[in-house]
Amino acid sequence: MKTLLKILTECASPTGRELPIRNLIRSMVESLADEVSVDVMGNLIARKGSLQPGGMKIMLSAHIDEIGIAVTHVDDNGFVRFTNVGGVRPYTCYSGRVRFSDGTVGVIGMEPTTSVTEVQPLSKMYIDVGATNPADCPVSVGDFGVFDRPFAELGNGRIVSKAMDDRAGAAVLVRLLEMMPENPHEIYFVFSTQEEVGLRGARTAAYHIDPDLGIALDVTLTGDTPKSATMDVALGKGPAIKVKDSGMISSPALVRYLTEIAVKEEIPYQMEVLTGGTTDAAAIQVSRGGVPSGCISIPCRYVHSPSEVVDLADMENAVRLLVAALGQSILLGDA
């Protein structure tokens, strides 16, 4: 899992520019799935199994895009101005590095402030790629970049990297595809695009697939760091079964089902109520006539920074939970 996570998070592929990560994951899942396709939005869809008696059409979704920047202007001295692609916060930017798809690296500077504790808005920041004028600047208006920070192992099985959101979810789906036991379902493993700008890939994929059940795999915030907001999710205490976030309320029947499976299989789990943010499940849930949907979340510290931290055991346990939940007929009962 660690090596897989390293390979996936080190791929530079921001929202709207998912070709590199899609090709990478396609090379991993092609031999494992019964059918692999790419749709107009760039979603990679791997189907495993076909509908059997007692089975369901299930859509699993993990987004493969990552937050980044897009070039808006190169000034007379070769400094690059940029805008955010997805939820980028100024305080995670200053003095950080950006990598463009052609390999160009730049450092983020900002115009002077009146106080050392003040951070400028993105409109007063710039990227210094070593250029001296627009002609010798290797990037131009419309180019996309990602934040560049090395992958590293911390203590206690904790890993730090950029783009854990949501390559951690993608890694769980790749592992699940490898381990999926015999089952009656037709399962669509969707590696979705443009989640960070509004769940756009999952929305069209859900409409196209028309599933009976939807489960997103994504990261969630934690409440386990100094003076953090009160939130009952901690690193290392298991995957979180989402009850609610600011974009959706999970199907109560699905929450109950997943919880019962976790208890029965003795898989550690946590209940998640997230007050800000949402996942692909919000788009799946309201597709067509509605789809019972929920989300299994990987607890993650410092989400939407270039140094997102997850616990490997939480990811392994998310795979176990999915194997147990999908490896049999699913009776959801009343909502």
Q: Which of 166, 272, 308, 311 binds Zn ion (CB under 5 A)?
A: 166
Q: How far is the CB of 88 from Zn ion (least distance, A)?
A: 13
Do residues 207 and 284 touch, judged by C-beta distance below 8 A? Answer: no
Task: Please say which residue, 163 or 326, places its beta carbon nearer to Zn ion.
Answer: 163
Three-class secondary structure of residue 165 per DSSP = helix
**Residue 280 engages Co ion in binding (rule: CB under 5 A):** no
Q: How far is the CB of 65 from Co ion (least distance, A)?
A: 9
User: Within 30-59, which residues bind Co ion (CB under 5 A)?
Assistant: none
The tokens for 31 are 């031999």
**Residue 165 engages Co ion in binding (rule: CB under 5 A):** yes
**Residue 245 engages Zn ion in binding (rule: CB under 5 A):** no
Do residues 55 and 183 touch, judged by C-beta distance below 8 A? Answer: yes
* Omega before residue 166 within 30° of 0, cis: yes
Q: Which stretch binds Co ion (CB under 5 A): 2-10, 144-152, 165-173, 261-269?
A: 165-173
The tokens for 60 are 């699993």
Task: Please say which residue, 143 or 165, places its beta carbon nearer to Co ion.
Answer: 165
**Residue 66 engages Co ion in binding (rule: CB under 5 A):** no
**Residue 165 engages Zn ion in binding (rule: CB under 5 A):** yes
Q: Which stretch binds Zn ion (CB under 5 A): 38-46, 96-104, 165-173, 235-243?
A: 165-173
Q: How far is the CB of 164 from Zn ion (least distance, A)?
A: 9
Backbone angles phi, psi at 197, to 5 degrees: -115, 15
Q: Which stretch binds Co ion (CB under 5 A): 75-83, 95-103, 162-170, 231-239?
A: 162-170
Please give the DSSP secondary-structure letter assigned to residue 128. E
Task: Please say which residue, 20 or 277, places its beta carbon nearer to Co ion.
Answer: 277
Q: How far is the CB of 171 from Co ion (least distance, A)?
A: 15
Q: How far is the CB of 149 from Zn ion (least distance, A)?
A: 17
Please choose which of Co ion, Zn ion, none residue 218 contacts, taking the beta carbon within 5 to 8 angstroms, the exact cut-off set by kind: Zn ion
Count the neighbouring beta carbons within 10 Å of the beta carbon of residue 175. 20
**Residue 245 engages Co ion in binding (rule: CB under 5 A):** no
Active site residue 35: no
The tokens for 176 are 């699940």
Task: Please say which residue, 165 or 245, places its beta carbon nearer to Zn ion.
Answer: 165
- What is the spatial distance between Cα 4 and Cα 7, in angstroms, rounded to a whole number? 5
**Residue 272 engages Zn ion in binding (rule: CB under 5 A):** no
Active-site pick, 18, 186, 195, 196: 195
- What is the spatial distance between Cα 294 and Cα 281, in angstroms, rounded to a whole number? 6
Q: How far is CA 159 from CA 28, 111, 116, 261, 306, in A?
A: 22, 33, 31, 27, 13
Q: How far is CA 131 from CA 72, 138, 140, in A?
A: 16, 8, 12
Contacts of 107 (CB under 8 A, 6+ apart): 95, 96, 97, 98, 127, 128
Structural element, H or E, at residue 194: none
Q: Which of 66, 143, 186, 218 binds Zn ion (CB under 5 A)?
A: 218
Rg (CA), the chain: 20
By the criterion CB under 5 A, which residues form the site for Zn ion?
Answer: 165-166, 218
Enzyme catalytic residues: 195
Residues near Co ion, by CB under 5 A: 165
